[in-house]
Amino acid sequence: MIKYVFTDKAPKPVGPYSQAVVVGGWVFISGQIPINPLTGELVKTPFKEAVRTVLNNVLEIVKSAGGDVSNVVKVTVYMKDVGKFAEFNEVYSEFFKDHKPARAVVGVASLPRDADLMVEAIAYVGS
């Protein structure tokens, strides 16, 4: 059985997709860009603030599915400028602390709304 996840604490989907779906305790979170959920505005600068925004959006979706940061098992990051990887990694390390989900980082030419990064994730919250 599929459960669709929605929270007002993360950006509303702008197309025909869900913020996340839960199947068998697994939470599949759609790609999130750094949009402030209160204003709907894209956060671009400073870059570290954009990273915090997008990670917080992912976390709010995980929370609405019944989990927390420790439930995240896989993160995929899409970045327009992998030269900013050190800045990204600094915020990412602060965010996840000792929790170390599997991760992939992919350099891309463009992202929706001309965002600098997008993050998708998988979490496990049990059945």
pLDDT tens, position by position, 33-43: 999 999 999 99
* Band of residue 14 on the pLDDT scale cut at 50, 70, 90: confident
What CATH number belongs to 2-124?
A: 3.30.1330.40
- Report the 10 Å Cβ neighbour count for 32: 25
Share of the chain above pLDDT 90, in %: 97
Q: At residue 127, does pLDDT exceed 90?
A: no
Q: How far is CA 50 from the centre of its chain?
A: 11
The residues spanned by each domain of the chain are: 2-124
Q: What is the pTM of this model?
A: 0.96
pLDDT number for residue 49: 98
Q: Kindly state the DSSP code that residue 54 receives in the 8-state scheme.
A: H
* Band of residue 120 on the pLDDT scale cut at 50, 70, 90: very high
Structure tokens at 82: 């992998």
